[in-house]
Chain A
Amino acid sequence: MDLMINTLGFIAGSAIDVLPIAIFLFAFQRLVIRGPMPNRNQILLGFGFVVVGLGLFLVGLEQTLFPLGRLMAQQLTHPEFLLNGAVGTGSPLTWQDFYWVYVFAAAIGFSTTLAEPALIAVSMKANLVSAGAIGVWGLRVAVAIGVGIGVSLGCFRIITGLPLHYFIAAGYLVVVMQTIVAPKLIVPLAYDSGGVTTSTVTVPLVTALGLGLAEAVPGRSALLDGFGLVAFASLFPIITVLAYGQLAVIRERVSTSKTDHRDPEQEVDHAL
């Protein structure tokens, strides 16, 4: 019964969230385009689905994704778990002791990204446009490795408490330098792969993981250290996809130097 009332509350809340965009779209259609809305019934039905779906998703989020992220963070940082039951040895924990956290973060980042439907679609399109020069699997693995490294390194930052903006500034510096030397046509694709690949399911889980970590590790505050994992997960795929493009150039250079003397950079650009 509680769940029912809770769910209805969330659905009502999401109706309020969706209403403004619905009103604006109808207003633009009437006042600016000055035409009737095509397929009005279908569109109203669609908005109904959006509202109900958003409500259900938010209930599931509160009930599952947030608790799961927190639970994993607590269990993997529990002193008994870290020291294999040898409590009371007195030695303070160092960042190396949290190695299961890094493994878990990398596994979550890598696997969720590899299965992301949006990324699969983008990779197939990139493969088609590049006439096979960008492999479907190559791109997917490159992005997934990036997200895995990002989330894992983000956890390392939370545990050590190093300032977030050092990492971000250094990361974007690397991106800028890579942008200069990478084949030109991989650049938009790489920049795009940053934000798009962190899915609606992954973001809440990763956020909860970071906050749980910051709460569980002694000397860290959730407010100061708990956020930033999503930022890492958006930054590192850019680096790995650019690196994937650079690798393609190098591979091309090695194979063409054996046969003839065409410009490898141009070759890849052409292929892309």
Chain B
Amino acid sequence: MKDALYALGKDAVDSLRDLLPIVLVIGVFQVFVVRQPVDDLFSLLSGGLLVVAGLACFIFGLRLALFPVGEGLAYSLAAKGSVFWLLAFAFVLGFGTTVAEPALIAVAAEASKVAAAASVIESTPEAIEGYAFGLRMTVALAVGIALVTGVFRILANWSLPMMIIGGYVLVILLTGLAPPEIVGVAYDSGGVTTSTVTVPLVTALGVGLASSVKGRNVMVDGFGLIAFASLTPILFVLIYGILAEWT
């Protein structure tokens, strides 16, 4: 009990450390550069506390539940050696963790509001929510497929740099075909997916796999999965944009 409280407190300090530089920089700018009164200071400060409390609970919960189970499963499936179940698990892991990724929820919500304001989609709450949901599912699907590809690559021992560079060449080609309004969102979705939830679990999968397959380097192969997970969302969101334009 005491240990758990200590761990929760440590997560709160970490979250506070994430927020503190933002508060400091914005504070300095408000006082010395902008020099204008800020409305709703109370609402901003209480919201900041909610961010810290929420992030602390979230990460504490992840450590208690998702990380041990995910890591345990990753290790036992890698040891079990069934390629089908390993690939299935990789897909589910990528898809499921990306759906619950807070940064992605945030960016998808903003993207849908902007799209509605520019009347790319209808300005009804249903249409906005539908667009945000579609975007999140597209990215989640992309990360799922990224992990399947990445795991398969570790098993088949394909060259990582060639695949990644090839992927980015494809990104540039698709950018030419995609409607311009999806390009920015697509590029951002690559960086968004690899944060709080996905990285630790994906690393566990890569490391578990690389250490149970002979002749694989733990450092290089564990990292390869993350590189795929930041590449495929760009591709998939671009394709999503191209398909949405056709229909």
Contacts and interface: CB of A to CB of B under 8 A. Distances in A.
Interface of A: 14, 17-18, 20-22, 24-25, 28-29, 32-33, 37-39, 42-68, 71-72, 75-76, 81, 100, 104, 107-108, 111-112, 114-118, 164-165, 168-169, 172, 176, 179, 188, 191-192, 194-196, 198-205, 207-208, 211, 221-231, 233-234
List the 9 closest pairs (A to B, CB-CB), nearest first: A46-B65, A227-B184, A49-B61, A46-B64, A64-B47, A53-B57, A53-B58, A56-B54, A57-B54
Interface in B34-56: 34, 36, 38, 40, 43-56
A17 B226 contact: no
A43 B64 contact: yes
12 contacts: A17-B100, A33-B73, A45-B65, A50-B62, A56-B50, A57-B58, A60-B52, A64-B43, A104-B33, A108-B26, A204-B110, A211-B114
B114 A226 contact: yes
Contact of B70 (A25, A56, A211, A233): A25
B22 A205 contact: yes
A201 B18 contact: yes
A66 B110 contact: yes
- Counting contact residues on chain B (CB < 8 A from A), the size range is 35 or more
A49 B34 contact: no
B181 A223 contact: yes
Contacts of B22: 68, 108, 111-112, 201-202, 205
B202 to A, nearest CB: 11
B6 to A, nearest CB: 15
Contact of A196 (B25, B36, B199): B199
Interface string B212-247: 000000011001001101100000000000000000
Q: Is the interface of A mostly helix, strand, loop or mixed?
A: helix
Contacts of A231: 184, 187-188, 190-191
Given A47-B66, A53-B56, A169-B172, 5 more contacts: A25-B73, A49-B61, A198-B191, A225-B184, A227-B184
B130 interface: no
Contacts of A22: 65
B21 A111 contact: yes
A108 to B, nearest CB: 5
